[in-house]
Structure 1
């Protein structure tokens, strides 16, 4: 083993942990710190053996500092380009397959409950909940009193709840084909 390789090996044994801790404090990621520490030693080892360096540990820490700075610049550029690395901490707001299936089943169940209403009650229910008409507007359209509209809507809710409850209890809430 050459004198230069022996110096590098001794430097590695004496300063690896301190250098890695130094890098980790600046980076905040132990894995990246280990990689940059290794790269620091590799860059030092690639220097010609005849190069005169007065203080090898200080030079090694300077190499590591430069690598940390380069890494941080690269991370900033990456964040600007693609919004950064994905984080496991950030939830995906898109519903998963289970939630989508559940929503489809609930929608189908509600649709069936509405379809089971008497035609006049269903018409009032849809005018109120889908078309967003007021009691008065529905009453004027259908030539009935607002009180009658209120009664029909209450009846529709009671009937829909009963339909859904009965379907859930019977276990027949499977999605329709």
Structure 2
């Protein structure tokens, strides 16, 4: 029967890649897998050579599986310590009803402000901000200068801002019925 060190060396050459792939699948990290694979072989090598192990590869994979489980437990503990205890509120990516209502009101207010613009200014504003035309494309389409487009866009922003401020201040003069 070959010596214990020779058995470990042979097992290392035969099983290292398979064991590393196994651990990588379980941990999702090649670096962690390399570390745990090495630790698995070290723990196997530290066993007394007199111990009878019927299936060395299976025993090695069991060691690795236990190391993966330990690693995942430690990661969960670290995460709990960093994040703190879970709150009773579950995180939610969708906006709350209040946030949705606020967004709807803001959108409605902006639409009212755009509708209040003079027709030519509104058309330029929409071509630029909605249809994403350039100054030059708008100027060519409407047969005006790019400078006029720039002026109209600046005017539209000033008028929209004034409309919104007036509406928020409760001044009905700045809004349409």
TM-score by length of 2: 0.47
